[in-house]
């Protein structure tokens, strides 16, 4: 009985910490879009992934504030990434969309795995947002061809 309870608790903790593709925060849907290579250098590639923030309610909503830095995990390695908004907006009208970009450089053969950004809140500690980094089809084919 104790083994079953322990296994279910471990499963619950893993389920709460798993990476997702969509978060909804105060009626604003944050969705990670496929990452793509924007610059292929000799020893590294610069990647960019978009985060769309959509207001799903019927009244204006404030955008969640994301930290300027994020991390990208590839296997056991962790790399820093920059996060920035496409335009200077603070709130969204109903059904409006704002874009945030996550840009990072990885060594030549590495593919992004999990992107972890932090949501900043003035009254509490930062809440990590974990996204699985989907890849565009061109990036997968390019990596196979080399």
φ/ψ of residue 17, rounded to 5: -95, -5
What does the domain layout of the chain look like in residue ranges? 19-145
3-state DSSP assignment of residue 103: strand
Predicted confidence at residue 117, as pLDDT, reads 93
Q: What is the C-alpha separation between 43 and 63, in angstroms, rounded?
A: 37
Q: Which residues contact 135 (CB under 8 A, 6 or more apart)?
A: 34, 35, 36, 111, 112
Predicted confidence at residue 21, as pLDDT, reads 76
First to last CA, the chain: 52
Q: Closest by alpha carbon to 28, among 83, 115, 92, 90?
A: 92
Give per-10-residue mean pLDDT for the chain (146 aa). Answer: 60 54 91 92 93 94 93 94 92 93 93 92 84 70 53
Q: What is the CATH number of domain 19-145?
A: 2.60.40
Other Cβ atoms within 10 Å of 69 Cβ, number: 12
Residue matched to tokens 């300027």: 68
pTM for this entry: 0.77
Q: Which residues contact 129 (CB under 8 A, 6 or more apart)?
A: 23, 30, 66, 116, 117, 118, 119
Predicted confidence at residue 102, as pLDDT, reads 96
Predicted confidence at residue 16, as pLDDT, reads 47
Predicted confidence at residue 9, as pLDDT, reads 60
Contact status, residue 2 vs residue 21, Cβ threshold 8 Å? no
């Amino acid at each position: 009985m104790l083994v079953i309870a322990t296994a279910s608790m471990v499963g619950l903790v893993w389920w709460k910490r798993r990476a997702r593709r969509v978060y909804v925060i105060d009626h604003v849907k944050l969705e990670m879009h496929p990452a793509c290579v924007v610059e292929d250098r000799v020893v590294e590639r610069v990647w960019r992934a978009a985060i769309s923030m959509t207001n799903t309610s019927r009244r204006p909503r404030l955008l969640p504030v994301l930290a300027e830095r994020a991390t990208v995990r590839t296997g056991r390695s962790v790399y820093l990434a920059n996060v920035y908004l496409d335009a200077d907006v603070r709130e969204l009208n109903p059904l409006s969309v704002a874009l945030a970009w996550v840009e990072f450089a990885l060594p030549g053969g590495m593919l992004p795995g999990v992107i972890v950004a932090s949501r900043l809140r003035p009254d509490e500690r930062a809440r990590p947002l974990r996204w699985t980094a989907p890849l565009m089809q061109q990036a997968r084919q390019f990596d196979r061809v080399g």
